[in-house]
Chains A and B, each alone.
Chain A
Amino acid sequence: MERVPILKLGDILIVSIQIDLDDQSVLALQEDLADRVVSSGARGVIIDITAVEIVDSFIGRMLSTIAAMTRMLDAETVVVGMRPAVAITLVELGLSLGGVRTALNLEKGVAALEHVRGTAG
C-alpha cells in the first residue's frame, strides 16, 4: 500500500495527493494526518488534489471527514487545486463538501490560511 507523504511548512501541513487513492490508503492518510496535526501542533492543513482526476463518493467523504477531524484538533483544512471535471462530478454526485474550505491553487490556499490565523489572533 502506498502512503501519501505529509509535508510541514511552518505551522501548516501540506498533503499533495499524487497517486490513485484506494480505500486503504485513504484510511491510512486520515490516521497519519491526525497524528501529525497533534504531534506538530499545526494550525492549518492543505490538501492538494491537482493531480486527482477521478473521484468517487468515498474520496468526497474523505475530504469532509478530514476537515471535520482537523477542526476538532483546532486546525483549518483547505482543499486546493480541484479540477473542473472533478468539481462537476462531485456536484453530480450530490456532494457539496459542506464545511470544507476550498481555494483555486496552493498559493491561494496558503493565503486563505494566513487570513484565518490573522483574524484568530
Chain B
Amino acid sequence: MTVPDEAAKRRIVDLFLSEEERLLRRWTQLSGASPDELRDLYQALRTALVDGAGDFADVRGLLAELSRARVRQGHTPSDTARMVFSLKEALYEAAEADGGPEALRGFVWFSQLVDDLGLYTFETYTAAREKIILDQAEQLLELSTPVVKLWEGIVAVPLVGTLDSARTQVVMEKLLQTLVETGSEHAVIDITGVPAVDTQVAQHLLKTVVAARLMGAECVISGIRPQIAHTIVTLGIEFGDIVTKASLADALSYALRRSGVEITGAERARIAVRAERP
C-alpha cells in the first residue's frame, strides 16, 4: 500500500472537520449507538487530529471507558468494534461526495487509523476479561484449600476439584504449616471431591505424604471412591506403605486409635417387654 501524502491527509481531516454534523448523524444512524457517546469520541478524535498531531492517548482512554461501559450494558465486543468501524462508512460517503482523488487517498489512511482504534476496544475487552479470570483463579486457589482440625492432634484437608501442580503446592505448604502450628501428628487428606486420579495427581499426593512424614507426622488418604480405586490399580500406581481408607470416618477413627484415644459406642437403650401374668 502506498503511503498517502500530506495533502491527502489534510484533505480528509478537513472533510472530517467541516462535515461534523452530517458525519455524526450518519455515524449514529449506522452504529445505533447513543449520539452523546459518539459526540464525545468525535471531539476527542478531532482534538487528536488537529492539536495533538497524532497523539491518540485521550481517544484510547475514552475508547477503553466506552468498551467497559458497553460490556456492562450487555453489548458484545464485536458490537463495540463495529460501532467504531462504522465511522469509516460514514466518512467514505463524505469522501465519495467530495469526489477528489486526494480525499479517497486520504480515506485509506484514515480507515487504517479507525481500524487501529476499533481493535483497541477489543484489546481492552480481552485485557479486562483476562484480569477477571486471573483474579478468580487466585481466589479459587485460596478458597479451595482449607485445613480443618478434627481433633486434638488430628487435622484434615478436604480436597475438592482437580489437583494440578500449583494447587498441590499450595495444599502441601498449608498442610505442613498447620502441622507445625498446631503440633498435630496425624493428617487426613480426603479426596472425595477429586473427580479423577491419574499418575500425576497420585505423584502429588505421595509427595505431600512423604513431606509430612519427614516432619514427623503421619498422613492417611481417605475418600477413595470405587471407580478411583479401580483407576489407581489399573494404572499400577503404588501407594506403598501409605495408609488409605475408604471414608473420612474410617480415617478419623484410625487416627484417633493411633493417637491413643479410646472410642466407645453410646449404650443402647434397652426395651424390655414383659408379659403380665393374670
Spell out A's residues near B (CB within 8 Å).
78-80, 82-88, 90-92, 96-97, 101-105, 108-109
In the complex where A84-B211, A88-B173, A91-B210 touch, is A103 in contact with B180 (Cβ < 8 A)?
no
- Which partner residue on chain B sits nearest A107 by CB separation? B183
Cβ–Cβ < 8 Å partners of A83 in chain B: 180
For the complex, what is the distance from the CA of A88 to the CA of B270, rounded to whole Å? 54
Are the CB atoms of B180 and A108 closer together than 8 Å?
no
Are the CB atoms of B180 and A88 closer together than 8 Å?
no
For the complex, what is the distance from the CA of A83 to the CA of B177, rounded to whole Å? 8
Tell me what chain B mostly uses at the interface: helix, strand, loop, or mixed. helix
What distance in Å separates the Cβ of A17 from its nearest Cβ neighbour in chain B?
A: 16
Tell me what chain A mostly uses at the interface: helix, strand, loop, or mixed. mixed
Are the CB atoms of B207 and A91 closer together than 8 Å?
yes
Are the CB atoms of A84 and B173 closer together than 8 Å?
yes
Are the CB atoms of A84 and B207 closer together than 8 Å?
no
Cβ–Cβ < 8 Å partners of A108 in chain B: 183, 185, 216
Spell out B's residues near A (CB within 8 Å).
172-173, 176-177, 179-180, 183-185, 207, 210-217
Are the CB atoms of A90 and B214 closer together than 8 Å?
yes
Cβ–Cβ < 8 Å partners of A109 in chain B: 216
Are the CB atoms of B183 and A87 closer together than 8 Å?
no
Are the CB atoms of A82 and B215 closer together than 8 Å?
yes
Are the CB atoms of B177 and A82 closer together than 8 Å?
no
Cβ–Cβ < 8 Å partners of A97 in chain B: 214
In the complex where A82-B216, A88-B173 touch, is A104 in contact with B179 (Cβ < 8 A)?
yes
What distance in Å separates the Cβ of B82 from its nearest Cβ neighbour in chain A?
A: 52
For the complex, what is the distance from the CA of A110 to the CA of B65, rounded to whole Å? 65
Cβ-neighbour of A96 out of B177, B214, B217 (below 8 A): B214
Are the CB atoms of B211 and A104 closer together than 8 Å?
no
Cβ-neighbour of A80 out of B177, B211, B213, B216 (below 8 A): B216
What distance in Å separates the Cβ of B125 from its nearest Cβ neighbour in chain A?
A: 40
Are the CB atoms of A88 and B216 closer together than 8 Å?
no
For the complex, what is the distance from the CA of A103 to the CA of B217, rounded to whole Å? 7
Cβ–Cβ < 8 Å partners of B177 in chain A: 84
